[in-house]
Amino acid sequence: MAKRTSKFLKGRRIDPAPLTPTTTIAELVDGAFIAYNGARLREACQLFTRKMLEPEVTIGMSLTGALTPAGLGMSALIPLIKAGFVDWIISTGANLYHDTHFGIGLVMREGRADISDIVLRAEEVVRIYDIFFDYSVLLDTDAFFREIIGGKEFQKTMSTAEFHYLAGRYVHERERKLGLRDKSLLAVAYEYGVPIYTSSPGDSSIGMNVAAKALLGNKLAFDPSLDVNETAAIVLAAKRNGGSGTGRGKKKAGLSGCFILGGGSPKNFLLQTEPQIQEVLGIDERGHDYFLQVTDARPDTGGLSGATPGEAVSWGKVDPERLPDAVVCYVDSTVALPIITAYALAQHAPRQPKRLYDRREEFMSLLTSEYRKSKRR
């Protein structure tokens, strides 16, 4: 009698084709990333490209770690936005501050992590691991932000999305005058109507300059309640209205996808939108539909950065029925993001930009309307 084949031996045979000088990024990922974290990176590429980029999915991205100083704003994040592959963003303020250097014509350079910081300080060179830049880059960027936030349109309380949109307009104009193009994430997000939030606006040089101007009577202030409610409204609208027509008079349900780079506060701010909707506002919802995280954090320390999508289910952050559509990739973001970006751009046609920034009032009206019907008021 022939031996029954175990159900656990149904996976594809490990027999990859040799790599050649003409191997494409898709062939590399699909064929050679077979096991371990290589396999998780392949699953991340395929989840993002084959499922998350469907038209009915609204994709939120969180950015942690010094990604823009390493040039990933220009090489990966801006191409993703221009292709319509990222709809809204939560970032550390530091990523947006350092992004601005490039948009206003300042320079950052490759360096080395083993150079004495005492020597660098004497040379007025600032270091982010193995990235070097002159101390004047900080001073010039500070001066840029202090100048623009003195403008009349900034003299009020606002969400961080509105602030970044207004700032992005100025960076976009500075790029134009300098003959630059697609150097700044802020500028491209402004151009494409992608709202960018910062979960801790005081925790960066941008926030430090806002605080300095406040000492002299500047009226700019960030309202965290606006950020909490606007981000929840984006997710609720994505689930209620994010679908596209099927051509048969029916509308596919909208879906929400989370693309998490690193962890920290931006990760939580992205994911907490669902508990805000369900737990706090008492609106009927089940959780985000897609969870894709690139991280080097361990789950067993109890920190949010390493928390798994399964743990997120217990908070209502992720729909339990969608756990098969969740991938955690334990790879440095500076390695994974360019590969995921190149794979997606090669394998998927551009999507129509959703321009969510332009629809914030509409989304807030939806959120308020559903909250008024809730018993949790």
d(CA 263, CA 260): 7
**What CA dihedral angle connects 321, 322, 323 and 326, to 10 degrees?**
180
User: What secondary structure does DSSP assign to 201-233, as a single string?
Assistant: TTSSHHHHHHHHHHTTT---EE-HHHHHHHHHH
- Say if residues 191 and 80 touch (Cβ distance below 8 Å): no
User: Of all helices (H) and strands (E), which one includes residue 291?
Assistant: strand 290-294
Query: DSSP code of 288?
Result: B
Is 177 tagged catalytic? no
- Give which of 242, 316, 309 is closest to 281, Cα–Cα: 316
**216 backbone dihedrals φ, ψ, rounded to 5°:** -105, 15
Alpha-carbon dihedral sign for residues 177, 189, 144, 213: positive
Instruction: Tell me which residue has tokens 């209502």.
Output: 316
d(CA 372, CA 367): 9
Q: Which of 183, 239, 267, 317 is catalytic?
A: 317
Q: Which amino acid is at 367?
A: L
Say how many CA atoms lie within 13 Å of 51 toward its Cβ: 19
> Catalytic site residues?
317
